[in-house]
Structure 1
Amino acid sequence: MSHVRVRFAPSPTGYLHLGGARTALYNYIYARRHGGSFILRIEDTDPSRSTDEAIAQILASMREMGLDWDEGPEKPGPHAPYRQTERIEIYQQYVRRLLADGHLYPCFCTPQELEAERTAAQAEKRAWVYSGRCRELTAAEVERRKQAGEPWTLRFRVPPGKTVFDDLLREPVEFNNETIGDFIVQRSDGTVMYNLAVVVDDVTMEITHVIRGDDHISNTPKQILVYQALGAPVPHFLHMPLLFGTDRRKLSKRHGATKLEQLTAMGFLVEVVRNYLCFLSTEFDESMVDWSLEDLVCNFDVESLGTSPSIFDPEKLRWMNGRAIRSLPEEQLGERMVQYLQRIGFFADPTIAPPQLASGEVAVSAAPSAAQAELTRRLAPLVQEKMEVLADFCAIAGWFYHPLRIDERALARLRDTAAAERILRVAADGLRALDPFTAESVEELVRALPVALGLKPKAVFAVLRLGMSGQNVTPGLFESLSVLGRDQAVERLTTTAALL
């Protein structure tokens, strides 16, 4: 195989969608597996939707996934520039060449005339294909209409016959050129259309393999015709199945969090999302959850993908993520927890909730104090078995980071529990006098309380949990009291008792 060159070419209209992340991943794996080059190209020809902020976010998401590119933004190479808005003159050179060779012609058809053609085709229950009414205009007629100020586009002159291409996942794909019709390659404002720009980019960047979603299959014959008109080699194509939701509809906003940034903000580990996306259309077993990027390059063959739609199941992803969190060494989990909480602004606002994270409404990154960082490292192992995503930490252990908040609902539960105030005061007195105050001595004291009070352990422990935290789900009771320390534990229990 000649030197492989692949590309990922996102449109910078927002955060990196999961479908785009998977396309980038497959291109990266293919390039590294074959010792080739991975090119990042920005398709920003729509200025009304493209933003520099979105480009920056795409680059950040690529780096977070570990997908380093060989050429592209911030890594200029011999095929620069890598943004389409900076390649306009290059496109015009190829437009002039195709026009001179007779492959393009001016079209003066108005939107109203084209709509009339579509309406007639619909009435006759046939697919609409441009009629070619401007195909044979004389040079004199073209010049006359241009001088008259009529707006015009440029269309590609599709030759008769068939266009066939091999797809690395499929049998040969064949199109009758009569069903393609002469297509527009340059708008009336002079900007080029996708099917020309992408071919010019791939030709000039010497792309050998085009790996993309199967929604581009219909574009492929048009692009092949442009390659042939330019006398350029046609790359190999691999069209992967698209991502669908569990309702078997194309993945979109209605399916919830569908962008990489949303999932990582919710506390999904990026390597888990990456591996899940990688194996969506192929065989998978649990051991692959823990594969590194290097493992994927060495062991995953993009050409082994199936062709059926890939079903993105958030619940399966959560299961995989929980498994991965539980397998992390405690020290590593502590550091990742600190990094995650800093990223979502938790240390500045410990009340941040998962719904805010899913919508992207997170605060600006806020670094922890030394005490907050140390507290997080101590708590992470205590919460590890209860988490499916890192954001679960906020719900289970967020109360450690702010003064006691106990609402009327919690107080009503305590008031309905016999001897709740007595339980809290006896426990507070015992903890105040405990010496030494260690995890072991705290557990011994608390376990002895039910016997001393003549109550069931479950009832006593539930009161203490609610009294110290204001919530029903926390890390282990004994460990939580130990982490709080004598002063905080006593203060919280006595404060709650006073409210009863």
Structure 2
Amino acid sequence: MHFTARILASEVRVRFAPSPTGKLHLGGLRTALFNFLFARKHGGAFILRVEDTDVARTIPGCAEKFEEILDGFGLHRDESPLIGGEYGPYVQTQRKGLYGEAAQRLIDSGHAYRCFCTSERLEILRKNAFRKQEIPRYDNRCRSLQKEESNARERDGQPYVVRFKFNREIVKFNDVVFGENIQTADEGDFVIIKSDGLPTYHFANVVDDRFMKISHVIRGAEWIPSCPKHLKLYDAFEWEYPTFLHLPLITKDGHKKLSKRDNSAFVEYYTQEKGFLPLAILNYLLRNGSGLRDHKTNYCYSLEEMIEKFDENTIGTRDFMTDKNSLEKYGRLAFKKATPDFLLNAIVDHVRAKLPHVGEDLLTSEYIERVISFLTNNEETFSCLSEISSGDFHFFFGRPENGEKLLTKYDVVTVTRVLDNVISLPHLTPAGIKGVAAAMDISAPDCFLIVRCALIDSFTGPPVGELFTFFTREECITRMNCVRQSLNVYQTQAVVING
């Protein structure tokens, strides 16, 4: 069930609000993407806010890394910690005073109170609940404290937290994607300000969204159960609700949520380890339920095209499932769509990161352009840059070191004779190899396999004729000679054994 809210461009302000406690999750990137597209489509502002109230788990430099990743995907912010803006600071620990004032407002209005219960008492409550097989919750002991006593204990320096009065009731709200949602809220009085004076996630989330004038909250569906807390806080402040738009969960198999213990849960796996182009990953994240009008599954949309066709009312409710085949499909489409300059820079950056031993002579624009031309014209299946650093196309930036792989399939005498004859050919052509095979009375396919493995250290790969065309004759001879020379020791051993 969908509903269409009236959207005024001047009112649209959305935010992506990650916690700087680790690598950026794939779901986080998808949330950023949908916030970005929504803002650009409706002429509004896209904001990055860093929610770092879990100080113990905060990783220095993590927030800056998030901004770098978003830039790499073209998801440029209008306001952020690095960019600044009218509604900053955009890091929650720098807004501590605001939360304290907001909490005091709720205390004064009777919607919240100071709780002086010790951690030891709270632990006893938890253990008693578990023993009775009940859901642990606070027993509201400090709710009945008189204002005078609460103020006096605060002046005396007694440690406390601030709790929000949360009575059991039915809460209803509409979501752009999931339609009407009805929940029974029954969690007891929850903490909004911790003993260190910092807010809890739920409290800071609501306060910041209000003060940053967030019009639409776009986030993952895992936050739907938290909405009653947020809505009751809005009610207590007498604030208007933002419009909610929750995105389906990202799952590994259609059922199980993508675990943070899995490398494929994080953006860096796709960008750094696998080397998929940014546009491939963005299209991959849009494929389920899309959010694009008349979405074509075999097309790679540019960011500009995504913005033009974006329609929040087309987002589906079916959970997103990671799928290797779909990812590789978008990898191929993105590679074909990318400009030569973009590919050149992407390949150079990837090779330098993954193969630091590669010389600058193999990173020149002229050589990289030849690599791109080869892949574009000859390889329909090329999908990610890891294929040139550790996959089937690693031969672009590395020569075979020895002929050991050849000896797993052929005897050393046959291999050395084939290589000697091919190296002596005046011209390296497939026809020449067939001639060598006929003269030696061996099969032409075996002869081609030996030459291919000597050139790229693999029995599978591009046709030998394409390799001859890509490499210069001198490079092909150098590669075959290197393998041929490495076989001398095995040839000597064979002579000794036969003798």
**Is residue 2:307 matched to residue 1:297?**
yes
Moved more, 21-30 or 156-165: 156-165
Partner of 1:211: helix, strand, or coil? strand
Match for residue 105 of structure 1 among 105, 113, 116: 113
CA contact (8 A) 2:36 2:75 kept: yes
In structure 2, what is the equivalent of residue 486 of structure 1? Answer: 473
**Is residue 2:434 matched to residue 1:424?**
no
Q: Structure 2 CA distance, aligned partners of 1:201 and 1:277?
A: 28
Match for residue 275 of structure 1 among 276, 283, 286: 283
Alignment of 1:234-313 (within 5 A): 234-246=241-253, 248-265=255-272, 266-282=274-290, 287=297, 289-313=299-323
**Is residue 2:402 matched to residue 1:392?**
no
Q: Aligned in 2, Cα 1:382/1:427: closer, same or farther, shift over 3 Å?
A: farther
Give, as a single letter, the amino acid of the residue that structure 2 aligns with 1:426: N
Q: Aligned in 2, Cα 1:121/1:28: closer, same or farther, shift over 3 Å?
A: same
Alignment of 1:432-451 (within 5 A): 433-434=426-427, 442-451=429-438
Give, as a single letter, the amino acid of the residue that structure 1 aligns with 2:326: K
Match for residue 46 of structure 2 among 38, 49, 66: 38
In structure 2, what is the equivalent of residue 192 of structure 1? Answer: 199
Q: CA deviation at 1:424?
A: 1.1
Partner of 2:110: helix, strand, or coil? coil
Q: Aligned in 2, Cα 1:60/1:290: closer, same or farther, shift over 3 Å?
A: same
Match for residue 411 of structure 1 among 407, 411, 416: 407
In structure 2, what is the equivalent of residue 318 of structure 1? Answer: 328
Q: Aligned in 2, Cα 1:315/1:254: closer, same or farther, shift over 3 Å?
A: farther
In structure 2, what is the equivalent of residue 221 of structure 1? Answer: 228
Gaps of 5+ in 2: 1-6, 492-499
In structure 2, what is the equivalent of residue 129 of structure 1? Answer: 137
Q: CA deviation at 1:155?
A: 0.6
Q: Deviations over 1:162-213 (max 9, x none)?
A: 4322222234323445x13211111112111112111111111111111111
CA contact (8 A) 1:414 1:420 kept: yes
In structure 2, what is the equivalent of residue 359 of structure 1? Answer: none
Moved more, 199-208 or 32-41: 32-41
Gaps of 5+ in 1: 352-364, 435-440
CA contact (8 A) 1:342 1:368 kept: no
Match for residue 65 of structure 1 among 50, 69, 73: 73
Q: Aligned in 2, Cα 1:451/1:286: closer, same or farther, shift over 3 Å?
A: farther
Moved more, 156-165 or 129-138: 156-165
Partner of 1:38: helix, strand, or coil? strand
Q: CA deviation at 1:227?
A: 1.5
Q: Deviations over 1:364-393 (max 9, x none)?
A: x99934565355345434663342322112
Q: Structure 2 CA distance, aligned partners of 1:246 and 1:176?
A: 30
CA contact (8 A) 1:264 1:270 kept: yes
Q: CA deviation at 1:122?
A: 3.7
In structure 2, what is the equivalent of residue 87 of structure 1? Answer: 95
Q: CA deviation at 1:271?
A: 1.0
CA contact (8 A) 1:379 1:397 kept: no
**Is residue 2:350 matched to residue 1:343?**
yes
Q: Aligned in 2, Cα 1:375/1:310: closer, same or farther, shift over 3 Å?
A: closer
Q: Aligned in 2, Cα 1:398/1:159: closer, same or farther, shift over 3 Å?
A: closer
In structure 2, what is the equivalent of residue 207 of structure 1? Answer: 214
Q: Aligned in 2, Cα 1:164/1:456: closer, same or farther, shift over 3 Å?
A: same
CA contact (8 A) 1:40 1:69 kept: yes
Q: Structure 2 CA distance, aligned partners of 1:130 and 1:366?
A: 68
Moved more, 285-294 or 69-78: 285-294
Superposed CA RMSD in Å reads 2.9
Q: Structure 1 CA distance, aligned partners of 2:43 and 2:71?
A: 20
Q: Structure 2 CA distance, aligned partners of 1:396 and 1:482?
A: 18
Q: Deviations over 1:228-257 (max 9, x none)?
A: 222221111122221111162110244432
Name the TM-score, length of structure 1 as normaliser.
0.85
Q: Aligned in 2, Cα 1:195/1:254: closer, same or farther, shift over 3 Å?
A: closer
Moved more, 183-192 or 290-299: 290-299
**Is residue 2:493 matched to residue 1:497?**
no
In structure 2, what is the equivalent of residue 29 of structure 1? Answer: 37
Q: CA deviation at 1:494?
A: 3.4
CA contact (8 A) 1:334 1:376 kept: no
In structure 1, what is the equivalent of residue 371 of structure 2? Answer: 376
**Is residue 2:127 matched to residue 1:119?**
yes
Give 4+ residue runs of structure 1 displaced > 6 Å after superposition.
none
Give, as a single letter, the amino acid of the residue that structure 2 aligns with 1:56: E
Q: Structure 2 CA distance, aligned partners of 1:254 and 1:96?
A: 40
Q: CA deviation at 1:222?
A: 1.4
Partner of 1:39: helix, strand, or coil? strand
Q: Deviations over 1:335-367 (max 9, x none)?
A: 51552342352452359xxxxxxxxxxxxx999
Q: Aligned in 2, Cα 1:28/1:190: closer, same or farther, shift over 3 Å?
A: same
Give, as a single letter, the amino acid of the residue that structure 1 aligns with 2:468: L
CA contact (8 A) 1:446 1:478 kept: no
Give, as a single letter, the amino acid of the residue that structure 2 aligns with 1:349: H
Q: Deviations over 1:90-147 (max 9, x none)?
A: 2222122222222221112223322333333344444343221110112343345446
Equivalent pairs counted in the alignment come to 474
